[in-house]
Amino acid sequence: MHPLTATALRICFRFSLFVLALPLLAHARLPEAANVPGGVAIVPLGSVSTEADKPQTWLGDQPILVTSDNGQWYAVVGIPLDMTPGSHELSVKIGDETKAETFVVNPKDYPEQRITLKDTSKIELSATDLARAQREIADIRALEHHWRVTQDTDLALIVPAQGRLASRFGLRRFFNDEPRSPHAGLDVAVASGTPVKSSAQGKVLAVGDYFFNGKTVFVDHGNGLITMYCHLERIDVQTGETVNKGQRLGLSGQTGRASGPHLHWSVVLNGTMVDPELFISAEQHQ
């Protein structure tokens, strides 16, 4: 082989390796780190290398999303609202080696929110409604733990509707003065019929009409990141459909348990609901 030809082939091969690595290196913005219950821990795992495997990470038995940013691998850990403050360990596998990485969860006190509902049937459930709600909660928990492997996941989410950011994540809620589960999402104050858009590219995991959440769309963005859009008036997508970032999923409404028209938007990371505001740019905070 001519020396120049061999040199050209070596250059092409190296360029091919570089191009193959680009999707991993050119990742969108990481979420804001917040090492508190309901927050997100960003745990560094080492440098990206074309010769090394992408790290695999678990918190207990739950797989954890791993992504790259500026040539570094990071585990992006969703922290459950009920996680005890203190030191916790990730199990990290790189190639044939498994090691532990530690991260710390700090305490946080969320404020209270008191809501008055005229329809007390959404608070004092009949036996039939209670059985339905329990079935649906189990179904939603299963959806939250869905895991679909993708090459990369867009973590730079957009707010799915144009409106004021109202009830924030983590509020300790009281319905008609009765304590209920913390607010596991972000409410966007919009009128009924406002277009609701997908926060990122993904695949519709499920659609349904639930007792508490009303008409709801779940979008799977890959590697344990799922978004949920609740209280819709109308759903315009079907299960299994691929959707683009900003594509309309339906129209906002007041279905399910809602004191007025609004969009409830939840972000699920690694099987747990976390604060959606950690995933949006500063310009989107209102």
Tens digits of residue pLDDT in 90-137: 999 988 899 999 999 999 988 777 777 666 766 778 999 999 999 999
What pLDDT band is residue 180 in, cutting at 50, 70 and 90?
Answer: low
Residue 227's SS3 state is: strand
Question: What pLDDT is attached to residue 19?
Answer: 35
Q: Give, for 145, the enclosing helix (H) or strand (E).
A: none
- The predicted structure's pLDDT at residue 207: 98
- CATH code of 26-105, in short, is 2.60.40.1590
Look at residue 72 in the predicted model and tell me its pLDDT.
92
Q: What is the mean pLDDT of residues 180-208?
A: 94
pLDDT at 258: 85
**Residue 27 banded pLDDT, cuts 50, 70, 90:** very low
State the fold for domain 112-284: Glucose Permease (Domain IIA) (2.70.70)
pLDDT higher than threshold 70 for residue 179: no
Instruction: Indicate whether 50 pLDDT > 60.
Output: yes
Residues paired with residue 99 on neighbouring β-strands, in sequence order? 92
Q: Is 21 exposed, middle or buried (0-12, 13-18, 19+ CB in 10 A)?
A: middle
Secondary structure letter of residue 79 according to DSSP: P
Domain coordinates in residue numbering, the chain: 26-105, 112-284
Output b/e per residue, 116-143; b: 16+ Cβ within 10 A.
eeeeeebeebeeeeeeebeebeeebeeb
As to burial, measured by CB atoms within 10 angstroms (0-12 exposed, 13-18 middle, 19+ buried), residue 274 is buried
